[in-house]
Amino acid sequence: MQTRRKALSLTLAGTLMPALARAQTTPEWRPDRPIRLIVPFAPGGSNDIVGRIIAEAAGRILGQPVVVENRAGAGSVIGAEVVARSAPDGYTVLINSAHATVPAIVARVPYDPVRDFTGVAVAGSSPHVLVVNPRAPANTVAELVALLRANPGPFNLSTAGIGSSTHVGAELFRTQAEVQVELVHYRGGGPAVAALVAGEAQFGAPTMASSLGQVRGGGLRALAVLGANRSPTLPDVPSAPEAGMPRLINEEFFPVLVPAATPAPVVASLSAAFQTAVRQSASRLTETAGVTPRPGYETAAQIMGLVRENVDYMTGVLRAAGVQPE
């Protein structure tokens, strides 16, 4: 009996040991060449600023450069499609705060924002800011609304492009303030803010990241932070409710995504690197871009759940405002 037991034990050991050895020696995925981080907007906008901050830290963690590549156009659709159609090998990553907004405002999107991607990280969230060119005769939201109602038509409102979160903010403001203004769509937050500073557009609701430098430097005047509360980054600027527009809430979040078919070990390594990069860069993100952490979104399922929730939310908000896909 003992001989049979010993033989059985040896047989089981011989069967299990190779599998156990493979499990113990399967290496963690590590990139062997640079990774592209696709920013689907022009340089200078919030995605570009946030993307460059976390790319620097993620590259150090992964041992390979994470190179930001700006692929602007169609309200982020062009860049997002590049990632959706790229090889699912971990070498092409997307950061896109407009990812959940696009399906609500762009009629023909050549990818599914949920099914065609999987989540890696969330780089945080940030409110938009209602700003005017300093030459505009408006120092408060109430004064701006009165000015626009008294002069319907000649004022331009800049956005970062069709489908961008600034487009959403513009539509919300136009509807809730009941004013007639012309929306001018630029190819990203940087060009949209530059147009405001130059006076090509008189006001807008840019992201805090893209407008913060100009607000601090006097190139733009901030009238309200489009969040439920004041921002610690601009503590002297009233919130939308304080400014008399309690429903003018427009905040963006920054999902970091890869193609849906990316293997689990690759997603795990990228998630660990990018989430660590976000934590290491937290103070810089807040000071430079007004971005604060968004805890509770560590797994791919949690991140894509957030995307799905925001697709539904944005669609509901815009349809209620009478905005249809273009």
pLDDT at 324 (0 to 100): 81
pLDDT, average across residues 70-97: 95
> Beta strand 66-70 with 35-39: parallel, antiparallel or unpaired?
parallel
In a domain, 282, yes or no: yes
In a domain, 10, yes or no: no
Q: What percent of the chain has pLDDT over 70?
A: 91
**pLDDT tier for residue 157 given thresholds of 50, 70 and 90:** very high
Residues 133 and 113 in one domain: no
More confident residue, 104 or 276: 276
Residues 105 and 152 in one domain: no
Residues 160 and 115 in one domain: no
Q: Where a domain ends, among 209, 225, 241? A: 225
Nearest to 114 by CA among 102, 105, 123: 102
In a domain, 63, yes or no: yes
- Check pLDDT > 90 for residue 221: yes
Residues 75 and 136 in one domain: no
As a whole number, the mean pLDDT across the chain is: 89
**pLDDT tier for residue 319 given thresholds of 50, 70 and 90:** confident
In a domain, 88, yes or no: yes
pLDDT, average across residues 73-82: 92
User: Where in the sequence is the domain holding 215, given as residue range(s)?
Assistant: 129-225
**pLDDT tier for residue 164 given thresholds of 50, 70 and 90:** confident
- Which structure tokens are listed for 21? 């050895």
Residues 74 and 218 in one domain: no
- Cα(140)–Cα(34) distance, rounded to whole angstroms? 47
Residues 100 and 41 in one domain: yes
Contact 40, 101 (CB under 8 A): no
Contacts of 178 (CB under 8 A, 6+ apart): 149
In a domain, 30, yes or no: no
pLDDT at 42 (0 to 100): 87
**pLDDT tier for residue 257 given thresholds of 50, 70 and 90:** very high
CATH of the domain at 198: 3.40.190.10
Alpha carbon of residue 68 to chain centroid: 14
Residues 167 and 113 in one domain: no
- Check pLDDT > 60 for residue 2: no
In a domain, 1, yes or no: no
- Check pLDDT > 60 for residue 254: yes
- Which structure tokens are listed for 190? 């940087």
Total domain count, the chain:
2
**pLDDT tier for residue 27 given thresholds of 50, 70 and 90:** low
Residues 107 and 136 in one domain: no
DSSP labels for 48-77? HHHHHHHHHHHHHHHTS-EEEEE---GGGH
Nearest to 148 by CA among 189, 179, 120: 179
Residues 149 and 287 in one domain: no
Residues 214 and 270 in one domain: no
- Check pLDDT > 60 for residue 26: no
In a domain, 29, yes or no: no
Reported pTM:
0.80
Residues 202 and 164 in one domain: yes
